[in-house]
Structure 1
Amino acid sequence: MRPNVKFVVKILFGIVCLFLYCEWLIYYFVLLQCDWPQLDPSIEDPFIKQTHDDPVRVMVLADTHLLGSKEGHWFDKLRREWQMYRTFQTAMKLHKPDIVFVLGDLTDEGLWCSDAEFQYYIRRFHSLFSVPQNTRMYVTVGNHDIGFHYRISPYLNQRFVSGFNSSAVQLITLRGNHFVLVNSMALEGDGCFLCRAAELQLSQIEKILKCASGRGSCDGKTRLKIYSKPILMQHFPLYRKSDEDCDEPDEAPFPIKTQKFKEGWDCLSKESTYQLLKQIEPRLVLSGHTHHGCTRNLPNSNGIEITIPSFSWRNKDNPSYGLMVVTPNNYSFSKCLMPKESTVINSYMLGGAGLLCWIVYALYKRTRRLLTKIGRILVKYLIKNNFT
């Protein structure tokens, strides 16, 4: 191979190695640092019977915000979807969860896009977030998917329900663990077409749970073989004044952290929060919507609420997702930090600078050898022609 060709090949090899690291290997390097949390026997609920089933491994993410045709630039869309695809599929290979929950805002423009584009959204989502056959996936709806309460129509709601197989209220049971998924926009309590149906479904779930716990009458309908306190999942956080009391690595930055929440817009209303906690009596609440992380104690309860940050780098430099191990009488939760956008950019800059320095140094050496060779030829020529 000729010297110039070898030099070009080395440059191309360096570029390919840098690209592979920043677009593939870095996800493994970062996500390998995260593993399933361990259950702490000392915090088991003594009133709930232990089972012999394996603990359920749960992965939770929120706010994927797949970009649309109106507000999404093609390169931004390509970049964000590749990042989410690479992270999710790497997590599937490393963690192998039993069940995956996505807490709303799957789409960025689902509330106003056409039917054709919404069908495209569905295909893209299932392509990017495909799961193995032995892994279940469930989603809740977000305001970007069908709109806030004031603008939801039966058509938009049904389009999402049919496209993602996600009703307003769902009760998912796996190995004695119960997960209640709720449409946050259906909790306004104003008797709308969506709210009335959600209220009836929540009342039915309340009866099922009380029947299983022995605290209520059983009417012969769906019964739970094993009772355990449910885990509540929805898009909106429960009512809180702001994120000011949150102390997390992925918390909201200042001054966003201190901004007051608007009920029904940034979080559920006080009334809806009280009613939901009273009916479901969850041991844990998982939510999204704010794009930032937060963990807090539930009001008048022994449970806690964990807000999951956005899964998209478009909304956050340091996104994350949750891993949870659950049994009927115990659970453990941890967050997995994903590669930072700034880290990837800095890796490209550092690697590019190093490659450029190597190119300059290599060219300098080649030029120096060439000049030395020319000098020797010139000296020989002068000696030969008696010019010394």
Structure 2
Amino acid sequence: MMVANLLLLGSEAGYMNAYFRDYYMSKFFRKSYESLKPDMLLVLGDVSAKGHELTKSKWSSVLHQFQRMLGPFLGLPFHVILGDRDAGECGGLNAKSVNWIASSFPGLDSAGCGAFEISNISFVSLNAVALLCGNNDLRFSVEKVIERENVDLQMDTEDTIEAINDSSKFKEASHNFGWRRNAMVSGSGPVLLLHFPLHQTGNSNCRGGSALIGTSNNAIGSSKTIVSGGLSRTGPYELLHTIPPNATEYIFQALRPRIVFSAHTHEFCVHTHSDGTREVTVPAMTWDARDDPGFVVATFRRNRRVVTVSYCSLARESHLLIAYISVLILLMSIILVANTSCRTCLRRR
């Protein structure tokens, strides 16, 4: 299960957040855990609304709010990556602050990156914020992570080729390896997790529904245009901001990702890159960003190239408020009628 852009405020949350939105989201996570029974939870950045501005004590209150909201998911493996609201803008981005924030979440290194495996599926998460930041030292640290993962993947590929060459069926191909950087084919690498989307050319489908992500299937279910608004427009970076083209190409060449999951835009999109790699953008999971927050469920099939992605949205906050107000008015009307009836009975006596 994948969520993004929770935009938590911690101790700075007002009455509406503390007694309505947080309660409803906690209930949602508990119900989702019970019905979906996921193997893992992924949070694709922006846990906090303004974590880059917070003191340590206020950041601790955000973490406590985050843990209360997740509830039973804390018993599962979960992985959190850093967003621009968590880490801040390039001007204030430094290794010390990122290391401090990254240490709050499991599986992140000092640069805010991570690599893990679950159910034989490999995942790599990158601090996408640093990739926007020119000659920043932190960006170089992220590039080192990419290079390290590339070396590991190349070694796995060479081991596989050697195993094939050991069989008599493929002995004739033992001399034909090609360049190291071309040893891996598109889609043969790990699942890539980012906060910012990669630079995009080609076709995008930004609507609700489900998608079977494979070698040739790009089916999207019932269409629904999604519009961002509210607090979402006040972040450090614009919602249309993406990782630069050169960094995007570098990532594709080094990692050959099986599929990419990103966030930041607050809407659900499925994009096909020029090499056929699919990128799924996870919508915002807060009413502070949109009236109908949503999440994504990804199922990895035995066919290595196929991933089933389902998009789900919660009830609109405006509809919930109308429902609560209607119930309150109904209860007040019943109480008023009951009091009037009681007074009438007393007069008759």
Q: TM-score, normalised by structure 2?
A: 0.75
Indicate which of 263, 274, 289 corresponds to 2:264.
Answer: 289
Deviations 1:140-189 (A, max 9, x none): 00111120223212221111121223233222112221111111112137
Which residue of 115, 137, 149 maps to 1:171? 115
Are the structure 2 counterparts of residues 360 and 121 from structure 1 closer, same or farther at C-alpha, using a change threshold of 3 Å?
closer
- Whether 1:212 aligns to 2:186 is no
Change beyond 3 A, Cα 1:89–1:236: same
Q: Is the 8 A contact 1:252 1:293 kept in 2?
A: no
Q: Deviations over 1:325-346 (max 9, x none)?
A: 1135132110122222122112
Tell me whether 1:304 sits opposite 2:278 in the alignment: yes
Distance 1:264 1:183, change over 3 A: farther
Letter in 1 for 2:334: W
CA distances 1:102-157 after superposition (whole Å, capped 9, x unpaired): 00111122111112222232233223224457620111001111202232122211
In structure 2, the residue corresponding to 1:238 is in which secondary structure? coil
Q: Is the 8 A contact 1:290 1:309 kept in 2?
A: yes
Describe the SS at the equivalent of 1:306.
strand
Residue 278 (structure 1) shift: 2.1
Aligned ranges 1:320-359 → 2 under 5 Å: 320-327=294-301, 329=304, 330-359=306-335
Structure 1 residues 265 and 295, CA, compared in 2 at 3 Å: closer, same or farther?
Answer: closer
User: CA contact under 8 A between 2:26 and 2:71: conserved in structure 1?
Assistant: no
**Correspondence for 2:127:** 183
Structure 1 residues 111-150: aligned runs within 5 Å:
111-131=52-72, 135-150=76-91
Report the TM-score when normalising by structure 1. Answer: 0.68
Describe how 1:73-84 pairs up with structure 2 within 5 A.
73-84=14-25
Q: Deviations over 1:256-301 (max 9, x none)?
A: xxxxxx8897221122222212222223211111222222212x12
**Pairwise CA distance, 1:354:** 2.9
Amino acid at match of 1:207: V
Counterpart Cα distance in 2 of 1:297 and 1:340? 29
Partner deviation per Cα, 1:51-93 (whole Å, 9 max, x = no partner): xxxxxxxx100011111556x4344344332222221122112
Q: What is aligned with 1:237?
A: 197
Q: Structure 1: which amino acid aligns with 2:61?
A: Y
Q: How has the CA–CA distance of structure 1 residues 366 and 126 changed in structure 2, closer, same or farther, with 3 Å as cutoff?
A: closer
Q: Are the aligned partners of 1:263 and 1:270 in contact in 2 as well (CA < 8 Å)? A: no
The structure with higher relative contact order (CA 8 Å, sep 6+) is 1
The answer (yes or no) to whether the contact 1:288–1:307 under 8 Å persists in 2 is yes
Residue aligning to 1:91: 32
Q: 1:281 to 1:136 in 2, by over 3 A?
A: same
- Give the partner amino acid of 1:67: L
The DSSP-based 3-state class of the residue aligned with 2:139 is helix
Partner of 2:287: 313
> SS in structure 2 opposite 1:108?
coil
Is the CA contact 1:176–1:327 (under 8 Å) kept in the aligned structure 2? no
Taking only aligned residues, the RMSD between alpha carbons, in angstroms, comes to 3.3
User: Structure 1: where are the runs of 5+ without partners?
Assistant: 1-58, 219-226, 255-261, 375-388
Q: Is the 8 A contact 2:44 2:194 kept in 1?
A: yes
In structure 2, relative to structure 1, the CA distance for the partners of 1:366 and 1:150 (3 Å cut) is: same
Change (3 A) 1:276 1:228: closer
Where in structure 2 are there 5+ consecutive unaligned residues?
163-186, 209-223, 230-236
Equivalent-residue separation in structure 1 for 2:67 and 2:203 (angstroms):
32
After superposing the two structures, state which structure 1 stretch, 153-162 or 131-140, moved more: 131-140
Identity of aligned residues (%): 22
Q: Distance in 2 between matches of 1:99 and 1:247?
A: 25
Following superposition, the deviation at residue 231 of structure 1 comes to: 1.4
